[in-house]
Amino acid sequence: MPNFTKLALVLAGATTALAQGYGDSNGNNNNPYSNNGGDSSSTTGYPSSLSNFHLIVTAHAVLATLAFSLLFPIGGIVIRLASFPGLWWIHGVFQTLAYILYIAAFALGVSMAQSIDKLGETHAWLGIALFVVLLFQPVLGVLHHVMFKKYSRRTVWSYGHIWLGRAAITVGMVNAGLGLRLSQETRVFAPSQGAVVGYWVVAVIIWLVYMASVVYGEIKRGRSSAKGGVDTPPRYRQAEGEELRQYA
């Protein structure tokens, strides 16, 4: 995963630089959301500033939504429903790509929140909490995989990885909705009510599919454990006939 780490750092650095780069041509870094009391002279340079700020807001929203409402859930669904050699690598790729996108979204979000004095908002501190939680997920995931192969059952690392992941996906989807509401409250680049409703409809559908896969996976795992007498999921065989346990 070193290449993914480098890509994440580069992307985060680039997005932070972009976020810090908006402002007027005089370097005053005007705040597009500030209340200037109707002083038209204070809006000098805003067209360029607003254009850049709009790009940053859009990029933040798109990257975070792709991470929590698409890639993270797909990675979770695949690991619960599929069964083939190397499955955990596929799961890892989806989650790593989602994490990279969220690192970029996080960098943009923190920069925006600082510039408009919104770090105290629920949307902002939930985003920060998610970022901190996700720092532990790769380590917990590797420990879960290693310990499961060793003991053929879930360990404390397994439950930490699994339940933190489920909670993060759920909170991330909700937080995206809070971000849309915050954008409406600021009344700059605010999404339409139809767009907000559309997001919630799609997010709820994806979340229900994700949770259905979780329930189905646990039922399937429970049946397998009952048959085998141990805490193991369904098994598959490689071409050479070696029996392996599914990552679970």
Query: Residues 32, 53: contact at Cβ < 8 Å?
Result: yes
Q: Is residue 30 part of a domain?
A: no
Q: Is residue 165 part of a domain?
A: yes
Q: Is residue 186 part of a domain?
A: yes
CATH number where 109 lies:
1.20.120
What is the C-alpha to C-alpha distance for residues 142 and 145, in angstroms, rounded to an integer? 5
DSSP state of 37: T
pLDDT at 84: 84
Q: Which helix (H) or strand (E) holds 237?
A: strand 235-237
Positions in the chain whose pLDDT score sits under 50: 1-2, 4-10, 12-47, 229-230, 232-246
pLDDT at 225: 67
Query: Residues 87, 247: contact at Cβ < 8 Å?
Result: yes
Locate all alpha helices (DSSP H) within 67-155, ordered by sequence.
Answer: 72-81, 87-115, 122-151
Q: Is residue 39 part of a domain?
A: no
Flag whether the pTM goes above 0.85.
no
Locate all alpha helices (DSSP H) within the chain, ordered by sequence.
Answer: 2-20, 46-66, 72-81, 87-115, 122-151, 156-186, 193-228
What is the C-alpha to C-alpha distance for residues 233 and 220, in angstroms, rounded to an integer? 7
Q: Is residue 27 part of a domain?
A: no
Instruction: Find residue 243's DSSP bridge partners.
Output: 237
Domain limits at 152? 2-22+48-238
**What domain count does the chain have?**
1
pLDDT at 188: 59
Q: Identify the residue whose tokens are 């990029």.
A: 59
Q: Is residue 81 part of a domain?
A: yes
Q: Is residue 52 part of a domain?
A: yes
What is the C-alpha to C-alpha distance for residues 147 and 177, in angstroms, rounded to an integer? 37
